[in-house]
Structure 1
Amino acid sequence: MNTKIKNVNTNNERVGEVASIFNRNGVWYINMQIRGKQMRKSLKTSNKKEARARALALERELLKGDTVKTVESEPVLITDAIEALIQSCKTEELRPKTISKYRQVLKDVAEFAESRNLYKLEQLDVRFVDAYRQYRKQKGAKPKTIYTEVGVIRRLLLFAKTRRMLNEDPLDGLKLTEPKTEPQPFWNWDELELILESSSKVHRPVFTFLAETGLRIGELRWLTWDDVDLKQGLIHIRPKDNWTTKTGNVRSIPISDRARGVLQKQPRHSRWVFTARASPKYPQGDHQVSERRLLESLKRTLKKLKLKGHLHTFRHSFISRAIVQGIPEAIIRTWVGHVDHKTLQHYTHIANRESQAAMRRLNRPDA
Structure 2
Amino acid sequence: MEPQLTLAYKNEHKYRWIDPFVGRAYKGIYYIYYINTETGKRTKKTTKTRNQREAFRELESFRKRYFNHIGEVKINRLSELNVYYHQYKKDDFRPRTLELYNTAIKKLITFIGDKELRKIIFIDMDKFKGALARVMKKNSVNIYLRTLKAVFNFCKKAGIIYENPMSGINMFKIEEKERLCFETEDIKRLTECMEIPYLERMVRFNLETGVRIGELLNIQWDDIDFRRNELKIRNKDNFKTKTNHEHVIPLSYNMLALLNRNPYIGDKNAVMQQQLPFNGTDCNVLELDFRKNINYVFGKIDGTRYSTGYISKSFKQKITKAGFGDKYHFHCLRHTALTNMANEGISSFMIKEIAGHKNIKTTESYVHPSMAAMRKSLENTNYSGLTY
TM-score (norm 2): 0.66
Return the index of the structure with the highest Cα Rg.
2
Residue of structure 2 in register with 1:3 after alignment:
none
2:296 to 250, 253, 272: 272
Q: State the distance in 2 between where 1:260 and 1:320 align.
A: 21
Q: Aligned partners of 1:106, 1:340: CA distance in 2, in Å?
A: 29
Match of 1:313 among 316, 320, 332: 332
Cα distance between partner residues in 1 of 2:75 and 2:217:
45
Is 1:360 the counterpart of 2:378? The answer is: yes
Cα shift at 1:138: 2.3
Residue 162 of structure 2: SS of its match in structure 1? coil
The answer to whether the Cα contact below 8 Å between 1:298 and 1:311 also exists between their aligned partners in 2 is yes
Percent identity, please.
Answer: 21
The counterpart of 1:295, out of the listed 295, 312, 320, is 312
Give the aligned partner of residue 6 of structure 1.
none
- In the alignment, what sits opposite 1:280? none
Contact 1:158 1:169 in 2 (8 A): yes
Render the CA deviation track for 1:242-279: whole Å, top value 9, x for unaligned.
423223333221223332222112332122111124xx
**Shift of the alpha carbon at 1:186?**
1.4
169-178 or 150-159: which moved more?
A: 169-178
Residue 247 of structure 1 aligns to which amino acid in structure 2? T
Q: In the alignment, does 2:209 pair up with 1:213?
A: yes
Structure 2, unaligned runs of 5 or more: 1-19, 21-37, 49-73, 263-289
Separation in structure 1 between the aligned mates of residue 360 and residue 139 of structure 2, nearest angstrom: 17
Aligned length: 292
Following superposition, the deviation at residue 216 of structure 1 comes to: 0.8
Q: How does 1:134-213 map to 2 (within 5 A)?
A: 134-141=130-137, 143-176=138-171, 179-201=174-196, 202-213=198-209
Give unpaired runs (5+ residues) of structure 1: 1-34, 36-59, 278-284
Distance (whole Å) between structure 2 residues aligned to residue 174 and residue 133 of structure 1: 8
Partners of 1:169 and 1:156 in 2: how far apart?
9
Contact 2:335 2:367 (C-alpha < 8 Å) held by counterparts: no
Does the 8 Å CA contact 1:221/1:288 hold for their aligned counterparts?
yes
Flag the structure with higher helix content.
1
Residue identity opposite 1:100 in structure 2: E
Q: C-alpha separation between the residues in 2 aligned to 1:363 and 1:158? A: 53
Counterpart residue number, 2:89: 89
Query: What does the per-residue CA deviation read over 1:35-58, in whole Å, with 9 as the maximum and x for residues that have no partner?
Result: 9xxxxxxxxxxxxxxxxxxxxxxx
**Matched position secondary structure for 1:350:** coil
Tell me the alpha carbon deviations over residues 175-225 of structure 1, each in whole angstroms, 9 at most, x when there is no partner. 446534322211122223212110131421112211111111111121110
Pair 1:345–1:265, CA change in 2 (3 A): closer
Amino acid at match of 2:194: S
Runs of 4+ in 1 over 6 A off after TM superposition: 66-70
Does the CA contact (< 8 Å) of 2:101 and 2:148 recur in 1?
no
Q: Partner residue of 1:327?
A: 346
Residue 300 of structure 1, CA deviation: 0.8
1: CA distance, partners of 2:246 / 2:167:
37
Instruction: Give the alignment's Cα RMSD to 1 decimal.
Output: 3.3
Q: Partners of 1:231 and 1:324 in 2: how far apart?
A: 30
- Structure 1's 95 and 191: CA in aligned 2 closer, same or farther, altered over 3 A? same
Q: Is the 8 A contact 1:323 1:329 kept in 2?
A: yes
Structure 2 contact 296–303 (Cα < 8 Å) conserved: yes
Amino acid in structure 1 at the alignment position of 2:188: E
Give the one of 118, 127, 139 matched to 2:123: 127
Distance of 2:120 and 2:342 partners within structure 1? 45
Partner residue in 2 for 1:46: none
| Residues 125 and 169 in structure 2, CA contact (< 8 A), matched pair in contact too | no
CA deviation vs aligned residue, 1:98-123 (integer Å, no higher than 9, x gap): 22321222222222333xxx522245
Verify the 8 A CA contact 1:219 1:237 in the aligned structure 2: yes
- 2:112 is matched by which residue type in structure 1? A
SS in 2 for 1:276: coil
CA distance in 2, matches of 1:200, 1:313: 19
Q: How much has 1:319 moved relative to structure 2?
A: 0.7
Take 1:119 and 1:347, find their aligned partners in 2: how far apart are those partners? 42
The structure-2 alpha-carbon separation of the partners of 1:175 and 1:67, relative to structure 1 and needing over 3 Å to count, comes to closer
Deviations 1:45-97 (A, max 9, x none): xxxxxxxxxxxxxxx99x98599899xxx992111112222222125x33333
Determine the C-alpha separation between the residues in 2 that align with 1:257 and 1:343.
28
User: Are residue 232 (structure 1) and residue 249 (structure 2) matched?
Assistant: no
Deviation at 1:235, TM superposition (A): 1.2
**8 Å contact 2:233–2:246 — kept in the other structure?**
yes
Q: Distance in 1 between matches of 2:167 and 2:246?
A: 37
Distance 1:186 1:123, change over 3 A: farther
Pairwise CA distance, 1:345 = 3.6
